[in-house]
Structures are given as C-alpha cells and as structure tokens.
C-alpha cells in the first residue's frame, strides 16, 4: 500500500523484487511472462540481498515511460482521486499522461506536476519571475497574446509555429520568448515543451494566464521604463 501511495507501478515493483535474489544473465527488465518462463531455482543467489531504492525508482521510471495509458489507468485514477486533482477542469488524462510520463518517475509525481493544467496557481516562483519577467518580457507576452488570440487550430504543431513566428518577429532567440511565456503559463521555469504546455492548458486558460502575467509585471514595475 505504501508503494502504491508513492506512485510505484505494480509491474515495476514485481520486477525489482524478483531480481533481488535471482538473475538471468545481464537482463534487468522482465515481463511477468518472462519471469515465469525463465525462473529457475538454481539461478537464485544464496547471498543476502541489498535493497536499493534508487534502483527501484529507475525501474519505475522505465516502466512509466514505456506504459500505455490503458496499462496504468486504474493506478493513475487512484492517484488522481487520492490527491484530489480536478481532472474535469483540464485536459483529457490520456493526452496528459503521454506528455508527462517521460518527465516523471512515479505516478504520484506525475499528478503533482500536472496540477497546473487543472487549477490556477497562487503565485509565481520568485526566482523564475525575477529572471524571466524583466526586460522585454512584457513586450514578448503582449506579442504572444495577440498572436495566440487568432489561433483556431490549438494543437502543438500549429502552436510551435506561432512561437517561432513571434521570436522571429521580435528578433529574439526561442529561449528568450519561451521562458517568459512558460513562467506566465505555469508559474515556474520548468514545464513540458512550450507548444505542448499551451495545448494542454487550452486557449482560454492560456490567454487568461498571459493577461495575469502582464498585470503582475506592471504591478511589480518590471517593464522597461516602469517607475
């Protein structure tokens, strides 16, 4: 139950446990079918086993990244309910899972890092805002708001094109435009790629958060020429 609470997948835990005292060459990853087919008592090592939490976490990350939504749906929905994530207020879970499964190590972490797509955040990360909301940030965000308002095809490929177009129009590198937008959208400097972040948030929520960031920049006097 503790491992379930911590977001570990059953198959990852089983894979780790079977390898504590048994081996089959150098193979590390075993499906349940392979465990049954390959297991032989003569391959069990009589030496005491050492439990390595980092190795278990590595295994879980591997299983998570290589899982389909259908494989983890039951465990993911338990974690969603346990953490009270309001999934009716954001992107569909299968789409979210495909984006976040490569970025997290456990289902618990996946849900924790996905809350920003379903609920508004209370404040900006201080370091991220201080670094990315200064200088030309207001100009960048105003350009994004204007460009994104007219976008009808709210999917990552089209949104990526818009990000590139804004950067070119402003004569800035992608990082210089993506980071202020990322902080505006998520409250921090880390998220999935900016096009996928926009897609998962949806048009209305994305535009509202850009407006909120512009108001914050003005209120904090971070724009050039502000007193």
pLDDT in tens, 12-50: 999 999 999 898 988 999 999 999 999 988 889 888 888
From 33-47, 64-78, 97-111, 178-192, the region with the lowest mean pLDDT? 33-47
| Domains present along the chain, CATH in parentheses | 2-117 (1.10.1160.10), 126-220 (1.10.10.350)
Share of the chain above pLDDT 70, in %: 98
Crossing angle of the two packed helices 107-114 and 69-83, in degrees rounded to 10: 60
| pLDDT band (50, 70, 90) for residue 92 | very high
d(CA 61, CA 71) in angstroms, rounded, equals 14
The predicted pLDDT at position 227 comes to 45
The whole-number average pLDDT for the span 87-109 is 97
Q: What angle do CA 102, 106, 112 make, to 5 degrees?
A: 90
**pTM flag (> 0.75):** yes
Neighbours of 188 (CB within 10 A): 16
**And the tokens for 113?**
């890092």
Of all helices (H) and strands (E), which one includes residue 222?
Answer: none
The whole-number average pLDDT for the span 191-204 is 97
From 45-54, 112-121, 186-195, 204-213, the region with the lowest mean pLDDT? 45-54
The predicted pLDDT at position 225 comes to 55
pLDDT tens for 133-176 read 999 999 999 999 999 999 999 999 999 999 999 999 999 999 89
**And the tokens for 15?**
């894979």
Nearest to 83 by CA among 194, 4, 11: 4
Sequence-separated contacts (24+) of 128-131 with Cβ below 8 Å: 128/183, 128/187, 128/188, 128/189, 129/183, 129/216, 129/220, 131/179, 131/189
> Which 8-state DSSP code applies to residue 119?
S
**And the tokens for 218?**
């003005």
The predicted pLDDT at position 100 comes to 97
The predicted pLDDT at position 158 comes to 98
């Amino acid at each position: 139950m503790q491992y379930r609470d911590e977001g570990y997948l059953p198959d990852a835990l089983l894979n780790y446990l079977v390898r504590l005292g048994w081996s089959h060459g150098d193979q590390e990853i075993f499906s349940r079918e392979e465990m049954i087919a390959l297991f032989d008592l003569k391959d069990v090592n009589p030496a005491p086993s050492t439990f390595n939490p980092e190795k278990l976490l590595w295994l879980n990350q591997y299983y998570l990244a290589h899982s389909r939504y259908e494989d983890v749906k039951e465990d993911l929905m338990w974690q969603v309910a346990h953490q009270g994530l309001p999934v009716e207020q954001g992107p569909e879970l299968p789409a979210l899972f495909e984006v976040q499964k490569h970025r997290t190590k456990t289902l618990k972490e996946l849900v924790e890092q996905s809350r920003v797509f379903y609920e508004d955040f209370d404040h900006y990360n201080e370091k991220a805002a201080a670094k990315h909301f200064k200088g030309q940030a207001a100009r960048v965000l105003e350009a994004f708001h204007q460009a994104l308002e007219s976008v009808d095809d709210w999917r990552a490929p089209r949104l990526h094109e818009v990000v590139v177009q804004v950067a070119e129009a402003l004569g800035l590198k992608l990082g210089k435009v993506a980071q202020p937008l990322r902080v505006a959208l998520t409250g921090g400097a880390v998220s999935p790629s900016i096009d996928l972040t926009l897609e998962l948030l949806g048009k209305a929520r994305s535009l509202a958060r850009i407006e909120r960031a512009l108001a914050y920049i003005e209120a904090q006097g971070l724009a050039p020429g502000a007193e």
